[in-house]
Chains A and B, each alone.
Chain A
Amino acid sequence: EAQVTQNPRYLITVTGKKLTVTCSQNMNHEYMSWYRQDPGLGLRQIYYSMNVEVTDKGDVPEGYKVSRKEKRNFPLILESPSPNQTSLYFCASRDPAGEHYNEQFFGPGTRLTVL
């Protein structure tokens, strides 16, 4: 089944404790992206990657890092989480060509709470 998977789905942590949220897609998509969703704000793009080793900042990159060492994986790293990063996070991938051109496929989400 074509899908985007995220782990963990739920995470409660404390301020300053480094964490990684993994994202993997099995559709051979070149483009991947991370978003955070906060009430009343919709989804805001954190980082995106056009291909392996190519990443760029979205609208709210502060406090986050990403890496793209292989096409299928795009982990989101919080080196020193803070309470204002408590949010619902979504990973997405996109095929740059073909029938589903320009459509993003979303993972199930990761709910992160930073105490």
Chain B
Amino acid sequence: NAGVTQTPKFQVLKTGQSMTLQCAQDMNHEYMSWYRQDPGMGLRLIHYSVGAGITDQGEVPNGYNVSRSTTEDFPLRLLSAAPSQTSVYFCASSIQGVGETQYFGPGTRLLVL
């Protein structure tokens, strides 16, 4: 099992550009989520999904879109990047829900200029 994979590892964007952060898991997990990690802020929930076709907002959803067309993939889209979105983004998954062990990916470092 590859576990949770994320691409790219590092990305530089200009303000206003759009991009998609990829997240995939091969463990047949129903629950997937996205967090951002900023210095002094800890990890904060952006969006999550409890299964294919179902997504919901977390604590900091503004400026991000998600979709879940398959169990395996949960991409995070930045519609118009802003410097405030400079962060490290982590995807996580678990078998069914948030009350279970969350498996995190290696992260994507994003710099918005």
Q: Do A and B come from one complex?
A: no
Residues of A within 8 A of B (CB): none
